[in-house]
Amino acid sequence: MRRRTAPKKRLRREKCRLRPPLPASALKNPAFRGMLSASKPYGSCCRSMKRSFTLIELLVTIAVIAILAGMLLPALSRARESGRTATCAGGLRQLTAANILYSNDFGVFVKIRADKASTIYWYGANVSGGMDPGARKYDYTAGPLYPYYGRAARAIICPTLALTAGLDTGDLSRMASSGGYGYASRRYSTAKYYLGQISNGITRPGSIRNPSQAVMFGDSQISRNATGPQLCPHGEGMGNTYGTVGFRHARKANVSRADGHVAAEQFAAGDEANLYGSFGDPAESPRLFNCLWPDHAETLAEVP
């Protein structure tokens, strides 16, 4: 019985048969015949030869992939943070627009706290009434600005902070503070309000003399991985005088102004390790939080 030829071998043989024969003049040449006898048989180049990677080649390939990954991953991380920074700026812009709409209805910008003993803050209600961060729970739907920013929970959450605070799903039932944003205050207190403080509850939109500079909202931070509802200038803070602006976006903080625009401000002074403090010239920082400047000097006069 004739043995069947495997398809691959038969194909190789057919290729070798189709190769044109050597000319007779070449075969008569003694020098060429010697070279031919010392080399591989004519047609052997048609035979397929499988070649595996050597260990060195494999290691080099792995090293190249590792180098490329090391170059691309930081760039990818920066691209993701750039996206979160843009989302944060959009949320602050929406929040600032909500406060402007609120002032159109009530004649003044929203107060940082309904009154000195109230559990209602600009961003929501402290429904537990306790000061223990582990027990504290806020209801953002009870905030006075809630109807004005489209009832979108993410408008009051900084996406970069949300990654570390467990708020990245948009569920604010676990909120222990203001979602990463602070409302401009002359001093770190929700029980004292000052003339020139945009969040004092008596500031009218038409009274602001420097709307393109007067700070309204921004990324806030009061200590390591902790945020607060107030945004304070250099010279103020909770237990320090660093200011409470949080520079969580690659050493920058998104800050909104009374005219509605949002800008990324560079870290200038404060807690270098935890990146919170103030931006710009520290000496000029308080003026940015005085919406009546230059008509009203820094007297820190309290209002009811």
How far apart are alpha carbons 64 and 68 in whole angstroms? Answer: 6
Lowest mean pLDDT across 125-129, 130-134, 233-237: 130-134
Residue 12 above 60 pLDDT?
no
C-alpha closest to that of 92 among 188, 23, 178: 178
Domain boundaries, the chain: 69-298
| 155-180 burial code (b ≥16 CB/10 A, e <16) | bbbbbbbbeebebeeeebeebbbbbb
**Residue linked to tokens 């996406």:** 159
Query: What pLDDT is attached to residue 255?
Result: 97
Q: Give the pLDDT band (50/70/90) at residue 227.
A: confident
Q: Give the pLDDT band (50/70/90) at residue 299.
A: low
Query: What pLDDT is attached to residue 79?
Result: 80
Which phi and psi angles does 98 have, rounded to 5°?
Answer: -65, -40
Residue 42 above 80 pLDDT?
no
Is 0.75 topped by the overall pTM? no
